[in-house]
Amino acid sequence: MADYWQATVTTPVNIAVIKYWGKRSVALNLPTNASLSVTLHQDQLCTTTTAQCSKEFASDRLWLNGKEEVIKPGGRTDTCIQEMKKLRKAYEDKYEDPHPASEWHVHLCSFNNFPTAAGLASSASGYAALVHCLATVYRLPNTSTELSLIARQGSGSACRSLFGGFVAWDMGVNEDGSDSKARQVASEDHWDDINAVICVVSDEKKGTSSTSGMQRTVETSPLIQERIRLVPARMAEMERAIAAQDFDAFAQLTMKDSNNFHAVCLDTSPPIFYMNDVSRALVALVHEFNRVSILQKRGHRAAYTFDAGPNAVIYCLRRNVKDIVNMVMHYFPQAEPFKDTYKVFYGKDTPGQMPL
């Protein structure tokens, strides 16, 4: 019998178009509203994680981008590892198919191919990769939905990275969180000409983490109640727009929801500022681009969205990527005045494209 078991997986980032912001249970990571995201292409922004289980290991350990991180007992990583072990045990009891790896300690090695914690959803791909990787080592034939319940406990947004394409996280109503899980709304093939142009305004670690920021919002913002009220209708409209491949509606909803989320951050006390002057200039630029586009009877052709940081993700159809990248490059040349603080991530094959 092998004296170690190992697996490596790569899991992509997802960028929400209806944002998750607020927890109704901190312990179980249950959200105050449903959310919906687009999973980026695996080759682009992603986390690659290797898990090795061996009877020689004295404890569970984790290296993130080459640096060892402490696994706190009862913390997020530990919770995900313990929950995966429980899942393995339940499987064993049911099918009488034992596997030694789940009895042993695990060493995890994880790399992001993009700046960690700069508002580029590193926790989403990170915890999704961790759960997916352990499921592979443990030879668990689990569905992504089942794994999403565990990834959610690592980081809420992580539950959506276990699916490709367009993914909803249904908030659920059960107190134990058993129905707060991810669901694929449409596969990546359904609307494959959607692209994301990512403008890295800053790759520094964000000032206020999502976890602490959203807690402060829930505790202090009256406006969050209005957001909780309006999200269900927005989710339904967004699902309709995706099903109909209606980019005009998709774009309007995406931008409205990003702005509503950042308004709620501003309504928090003390206020949270994730966007900066460059972010706001990008907002103005996209609106100007769309204004001209609407005059030309082409509808909205670009949609920005900002997570918990200043970086913009601009969704657009493939045929419009070139126009958008040219426009951004024209108004924000990499030289002055945004030297070294502005980048557009390009796709591998075609400059300016970032295929999903």
Select from 11, 157, 258, 290 the one that contacts ligand DP6 (CB under 6 A).
157
The piece of 13-21, 84-92, 97-105, 223-231 that touches ligand DP6 (CB under 6 A) is 13-21
Burial of 3 (0-12, 13-18, 19+ CB in 10 A): exposed
Residue 35 in the binding site for ligand DP6 (CB under 6 A): yes
Cα first-last separation, the chain: 41
Site size for ligand DP6 (CB under 6 A) = 15
The one segment of 12-20, 221-229, 231-239, 340-348 that binds ligand DP6 by CB under 6 A: 12-20
Task: Check residue 20 for interaction with ligand DP6 (CB under 6 A).
Answer: yes
Helix (H) or strand (E) holding 228: helix 223-243
Q: How far is CA 52 from CA 98, 151, 321, in A?
A: 17, 19, 41
Is residue 16 a contact residue for ligand DP6 (CB under 6 A)? yes
Out of 12, 13, 29, 251, name the contact with ligand DP6 by CB under 6 A: 29
148 binds ligand DP6 (CB under 6 A): no
- Is 155 among the residues that bind ligand DP6 (CB under 6 A)? yes
Q: Which helix (H) or strand (E) holds 280?
A: helix 277-295
**What number of residues does the chain have?**
356
With binding defined as CB under 6 A, does residue 182 bind ligand DP6? no
Q: Which residue has the tokens 């064993």?
A: 92
Q: Which of 123, 161, 208, 260 binds ligand DP6 (CB under 6 A)?
A: 123
Nearer to ligand DP6, 52 or 305 (CB): 305
Give how far Cα 99 sits from Cα of 6, 28, 72, 91, 93, Å: 13, 28, 25, 10, 11
Q: 19 vs 107, which CB is nearer to ligand DP6? A: 19
Query: Binding ligand DP6 by CB under 6 A: which of 114, 304, 307, 312?
Result: 307
Other beta carbons within 10 angstroms of residue 193's beta carbon come to: 14
190 Cβ contact list (under 8 Å, min separation 6):
165, 166, 242, 245
User: What span, in angstroms and rounded, lies between the C-alpha atoms of 331 and 280?
Assistant: 13
The answer to the question of residue 308 lying near ligand DP6 (CB under 6 A) is yes
Q: Does 83 bind ligand DP6 (CB under 6 A)?
A: no
User: Rule CB under 6 A: which of 206-225 touch ligand DP6?
Assistant: 210-211
Residue 112 near ligand DP6 by CB under 6 A: no
Distance CA 46, CA 40 (A): 8
* Two structure tokens written together for 73: 């007992």
Asked whether position 180 contacts ligand DP6 by CB under 6 A, the answer is: no
Sequential DSSP letters for 318-353: HHHHHHHHHHHHHHS-TTTTSTTT-EEEPPSSSTT-
- When asked if residue 19 is in the footprint of ligand DP6 (CB under 6 A), the reply is yes
Cβ distance to ligand DP6 smaller for residue 6 or 215: 215
Distances from the Cα of 205 to the Cα of 25, 63, 200, 323, angstroms:
26, 18, 12, 30
Stretch that binds ligand DP6, among 57-65, 149-157, 240-248, 328-336 (CB under 6 A): 149-157
Residues that bind ligand DP6 (CB under 6 A): 16, 19-21, 29, 35, 121, 123, 155-157, 210-211, 307-308
